[in-house]
Amino acid sequence: MESLNQEKTWQFDIVNGTFYKTAFNWDKLKKLIPLSYVLYGTDDPYVPNKFPIDFANRLGSEIIPVKNGGHLGGNFTEFPLLLELFKKMQG
């Protein structure tokens, strides 16, 4: 949602600059997305845990920390938990 403002990630801030936004209509989003999950790697080297946790709390999402998940998606070839969550959302 916002720049990481870290010396080691300045390249990401430049590339992702157009995605940073903080003025969300949280109430509207909660109505449009009544069931949501926020997953994050507990050892993400780029995004501090406070960012996904804050996002989840604002959206009313279930927070799911992924131990040793790193920057999610970077090292996974399979992600069974994600498949389970998609199935759960479909009912």
Domain boundaries, the chain: 7-90
For the chain, give the secondary structure using H, E and C. Answer: CCCCCCHHHHHHHHHHHHHCCCCCCHHHHHHHCCCCEEEEECCCCCCCCHHHHHHHHHHCCEEEEECCCCCCCCCCCCCHHHHHHHHHHHC
pLDDT of residue 10: 74
pLDDT of residue 19: 66
Task: Tell me the fold of 7-90.
Answer: Rossmann fold (3.40.50)
For the entire predicted model, the pTM comes to 0.77
pLDDT tens digits for 3-17? Answer: 666 676 677 777 777
pLDDT tens digits for 43-91? Answer: 998 888 998 999 999 999 999 999 989 988 777 888 999 999 999 888 7
